[in-house]
Amino acid sequence: MSRKQKRELWRILSAAGALVVVVLLTHWLEWPWWADLLCYLLPYAMVGWDVLRDAGRGVINGQMLDENFLMGIATIGAFALGEYTEAVFVMLFYQTGEWFQRLAVGKSRRSIAALMDIRPDSATVQRGEEWIEVSPDEVAVGEIIRLQAGERVPLDGVVVSGESTLDTAALTGEAMPRAVAVGDGVISGCINQSGLLTVRVTQPFGESTVSKILALVENASERKAKSETIITRFARVYTPIVVAAAVLLAFIPPIFAKHYLAAFPDWLGRALNFLVVSCPCALVISVPLSFFGGIGGASKQGILVKGGNFLESLSKVDTAVFDKTGTLTTGSFDVVSVKSEAFSESELLLLAVSAEQHSSHPVASALKKACADAVFPEISDVFEFSGRGISATVSDKAVLVGNQKLLLEKQIPFTPETDFGTQLYVAVDGQYAGCITIADRIKPNAASAIADLKTTGVRRTVLLTGDRTETAEAVATAVGVDDYYAELLPADKVDHVERILADSRRAVMFVGDGINDAPVLTRADIGVAMGALGADAAIEAADVVLMDDDPAKLALAVRLARRTMRIVRQNIVFSLAVKIGVMLVSAIGFGNLYAAVFADVGVCLIAILNASRTLKIQ
């Protein structure tokens, strides 16, 4: 509680005390009406002077229909009708509500600030012989920074010396620390947990991961969801309409009464209730707060949502379309089987690796991984057949490693394999020697992630891939997607997504690794990029970015979106129902100012508290 809030609280409490004294005094003592009025004006002024002052300022500044003005009119009206206690009490009630409301808003603001508290304050940079502490934006690319254990990584870079583990939870929501050593990249916003690291900076602060994430989350509130825009527009017309209705209610019905002047005070009283409920604050605070909270809460889990509008479409997803490599599979190839005819399996593998030892093709790195400790023999006469394979002389043997096409081309008879994965056929001295199958691993939790997504109400799941039909079928069966389409070019993927969009009744989500899927990511109702920690292309193209590769976050994202939308709807329905209810009851003469103030500040407070639930994740 700030000093101002404490002062306000004391003011409200002392005015309440004064009101009690005045009520008792006027009850026991028989005073003329003007003495009663003067007595009541004391607590009224204590609690409401600033409301009246702001109302006055509002009128001067041309802001006629602000909350202060309406409260001022309503309470002065109550005094005019002789309802002294009610007038003071209503002002007291209003200020109490406002006080709680400010407290709740302050608390939500602090929670949001805490969510976004990943901005590094300083960096320790090497300048000459010295290490000096500077603001992260003063560090240039290529400079060396030092990170003590417990420090937040201020800038993106590459480890030059030392090893440690990084806590990436603030960025990815992932609790497992990530080990880093010399040559590994480090990402700003993580926390260095154990060792001393020196890091060469690779990105200026403005383009670092942490700056991008913060900009993304802050700007997310500018892409407003449809329901948010509707509420803002509605709020603009709501107040004038209710005030107009109040004026009509005060002056028109008494015409039909026998004596206009005798009936007028009753109708005026009813109209005052309208004025009090005419402030749309419950909606204009709680709806944006819900979206903001939803986006903030999701980012805490490593799910970056670029705007309230995307949260809205995410909640409507009924079809999920997946890319294969890097999305459902890890994207790194491993040797899964070796079938040898003439040599032992390890000999065959060694021959193939040796031939490929200088190649940078993903196939070569998969082979190298499979025999990490081996010493490769010298090779000569290396020749690469683009897109087909490689030939080389290894220990006086002519080794050919390639796909089906290459062996057909060289007219070497071989036994075709149809296992899941990519086949590398090996020929030695013109004779077929065997086949090595390498494959991309399916992510261990891909199947459970898709099953989980189905429980959130996603009815159809589709796999789109450029890979062979056999591989696509194997992956589709293993992870449990409903349909698959294989051997697609990027343009075909767009066509398929178009068709899926036409079939879907609600919204289509496309999940890809974000680098080569940009057209599809943009075309789908909602594009989700996977494994984007540090990858610019994905952050640009996608609407939602999953910071760690984890497909299990998809179901979580959909659930968070649904929950946020549910809270938004609850607030809209609840606020409007109470306000309209109070107006109806008032119009037929059963309402009072207490109910009206509740429908104003009470409802607003409840809506804020409800909205702040979006910040918390179960």
Partner 1 sequence: MRKSFMLEELDCAHCAAKMEDAIRKLEGVSHASVNFMLQKLTLEADDSCFETVLDEAAAIIRKIEPDCRIVR
Nearest CA-CA partner of 481 in 451, 508, 439, 522:
451
Q: Identify the bridge partners of residue 397 per DSSP, sorted by sequence position.
A: 394
What is the rounded CA–CA span in Å between residue 484 and residue 467?
Answer: 11
Beta-strand runs (E) in 341-421: 379-385, 389-394, 397-402
- Residue 600 DSSP one-character state: I
In angstroms, how far is CA 152 from the centroid of its own chain?
Answer: 22
Nearest to partner 1 of 36, 67 (CB atom): 67
What is the rounded CA–CA span in Å between residue 322 and residue 551?
Answer: 10
In angstroms, how far is CA 432 from the centroid of its own chain?
Answer: 54
Q: Which residue has the tokens 């200088």?
A: 358
Kindly report the number of other CB atoms within 10 A of residue 397's CB atom: 15
Nearest to partner 1 of 281, 449 (CB atom): 281
Helix (H) or strand (E) holding 195: none
What is the rounded CA–CA span in Å between residue 84 and residue 23?
Answer: 10
In the complex, least distance from residue 605 CB atom to partner 1, rounded to whole angstroms: 13
What is the rounded CA–CA span in Å between residue 44 and residue 424?
Answer: 88
Nearest to partner 1 of 65, 141 (CB atom): 65
Label residues 132-145 b or e (16+ Cβ within 10 Å = b): eeeebeebeeebbb
What is the rounded CA–CA span in Å between residue 603 and residue 614?
Answer: 18
Nearest to partner 1 of 284, 481 (CB atom): 284
In the complex, least distance from residue 101 CB atom to partner 1, rounded to whole angstroms: 9
Catalytic-labelled residue, pool 323, 467, 513, 600: 323
Nearest CA-CA partner of 460 in 328, 343, 320:
320
What is the rounded CA–CA span in Å between residue 85 and residue 89?
Answer: 6
In the complex, least distance from residue 607 CB atom to partner 1, rounded to whole angstroms: 11
Nearest to partner 1 of 164, 299 (CB atom): 299
Nearest to partner 1 of 535, 617 (CB atom): 617
What is the rounded CA–CA span in Å between residue 162 and residue 184?
Answer: 11
In the complex, least distance from residue 244 CB atom to partner 1, rounded to whole angstroms: 18
Half-sphere exposure for 540 (CA within 13 Å, toward CB):
9
Nearest CA-CA partner of 375 in 350, 356, 395, 393:
350
In the complex, least distance from residue 61 CB atom to partner 1, rounded to whole angstroms: 4
In the complex, least distance from residue 54 CB atom to partner 1, rounded to whole angstroms: 7
Nearest to partner 1 of 216, 537 (CB atom): 216
**Phi first, then psi: what are they for 444, rounded to 5°?**
-55, -35
Nearest to partner 1 of 67, 517 (CB atom): 67
What is the rounded CA–CA span in Å between residue 180 and residue 197?
Answer: 9
3-class state of residue 309 by DSSP: helix
Tokens of 215: 């900009």
In the complex, least distance from residue 250 CB atom to partner 1, rounded to whole angstroms: 24
For residues 138 and 152, is the Cβ–Cβ distance under 8 A? no
In the complex, least distance from residue 232 CB atom to partner 1, rounded to whole angstroms: 6
Q: Which residues sit at the interface with partner 1, rule CB under 8 A?
A: 54, 57, 61-63, 66-67, 102, 105, 108-109, 112, 218, 221-222, 232, 235-236, 279-281, 284-285, 288-289, 292
Nearest to partner 1 of 54, 341 (CB atom): 54
In the complex, least distance from residue 570 CB atom to partner 1, rounded to whole angstroms: 18
Instruction: List, in order, residues 6 or more apart from 279 with CB less than 8 Å away.
Output: 67, 70, 239, 600
For residues 168 and 106, is the Cβ–Cβ distance under 8 A? no
In the complex, least distance from residue 600 CB atom to partner 1, rounded to whole angstroms: 12
Nearest to partner 1 of 3, 505 (CB atom): 3
Active site residue 323: yes
Sign of the Cα torsion 154, 160, 166, 170 reads positive
Residues with catalytic roles: 323
